[in-house]
Amino acid sequence: MSDITPHNARNGDFLAWPFFDEAHRRLGAELDAWCTRALKVDHQADTDATCVSLVRELGRAGWLKYCVSASHGGALDQLDSRALCVLRETLARHDGLADFAFAMQGLGSGAITLAGSEALKQRYLPRVASGEAIAAFALSEPNAGSDVAAMACSATRDGDDYVLNGEKTWISNGGIADFYCVFVRTGEAPGARGISAFVVDADTPGLTIAERIDVSAPHPLARLRFEDCRVPASARLGEAGQGFKVAMMTLDIFRASVAAAALGFARRALDEGLARAKSREMFGQTLADFQITQAALGEMATSVDAAALLTYRAAWQRDVQGQRTTREAAMAKMFATESAQQVIDRALQMFGGAGVVSGAIVERLYREIRSLRIYEGATEVQKLIIARELLKDG
């Protein structure tokens, strides 16, 4: 992994914005220094082993403590959206796989933080914070991705247990997770009102990895199969039939952090593009001397700042004003991921053929950003969420 260019010294300027306090500024600086010193990710190595190693390293260094509350081994009294965003942006700017490893510890355990019993919190959250246990969030199904209410994976009550049957797919950390927060149909009511959530340990009989899924930017990903998988009723997260609400509350917290990760990718691409434009000689001048390049850089920088403002507005409104930020988080996620794709594409174009060489930084960013426009709600779904919230307020 090459060093981040000196231009990145300016990337911390946004932390001077009034969205943040001194603790966030210190957090960003400390993580940036740690990443420069400690992150030595080999992208040709085994992805599973690399992700497990990253979780352990992030845990030992204390960064995963921001994924859980202080009462269960975390750093802060409650989840802080601004801290999560600063951490994800910084990690993504350095390495996408490190961001993935961090993000899944938060998303994978978020439902436990929000709705778990005290016994479940004590059992899982301290190990998430230390990096000893790897978490996963199992919501999507082969025919229920964006339309979560269409899920078919079910759980039937049997005495003090529930018996799970069905499949989940596109599950990040699938195959390496120690436990899964699984959302299934329990049938208390039609549609979304008949879904419940459970914590299922990876070694529970009846839970198998049906398929490992390879994607353009390698991450641990799998399809899960549940066949008469028995879990105790005490493993349920919240009340029966409240699983959809728990899932949406979890996504509301972490959706803004997806925008922050996209922002980190975009900042890195801008850095790489700027360095390339200033050093690449063409026709007796540098690439940066061409007005068409200057125009591209101007648009890229503006897109980065606009995405940052939307992202940190959403995080600030949740943390400081205590507002429900469904609309704001959707706006941030939609704009940051879509604009990051454009920024990265333009940066790659500045490299010409060198930009598509496998393993090049901009080539890696190009593959990394694409999935962010899909997961935790595709761009098209974010538009619907924004419109629905507008119509509701009207």
What residues act catalytically? Answer: 376
Would you give the DSSP letter of residue 150?
G
For helices 96-115 and 243-279, give the axis angle rounded to 10 degrees: 160
CA separation for the pair 272, 93 (Å, rounded) = 11
- What are the tokens at 86? 């600063």
Contacting residues for 35 by C-beta, under 8 A, at least 6 apart: 90, 91, 93, 94, 95, 98
- What are the tokens at 236? 């349920």
Q: Which of 96, 62, 69, 76 is nearest to 24 (CA)?
A: 76
CA separation for the pair 385, 88 (Å, rounded) = 23
Partnered with residue 135 across adjacent β-strands are: 179
Q: Sign of torsion, CA 202 77 117 152?
A: negative
- What are the tokens at 133? 């246990």
Within 10 Å of residue 357's Cβ, how many Cβ atoms? 10
CA separation for the pair 60, 47 (Å, rounded) = 20
Is residue 127 within 8 A of residue 63, CB to CB? The reply is no
CA separation for the pair 144, 230 (Å, rounded) = 23
Q: Which of 99, 75, 94, 83 is nearest to 28 (CA)?
A: 83
Q: Give percent helix, percent strand, percent coil of the chain, each to the nearest 5.
A: 60, 15, 25
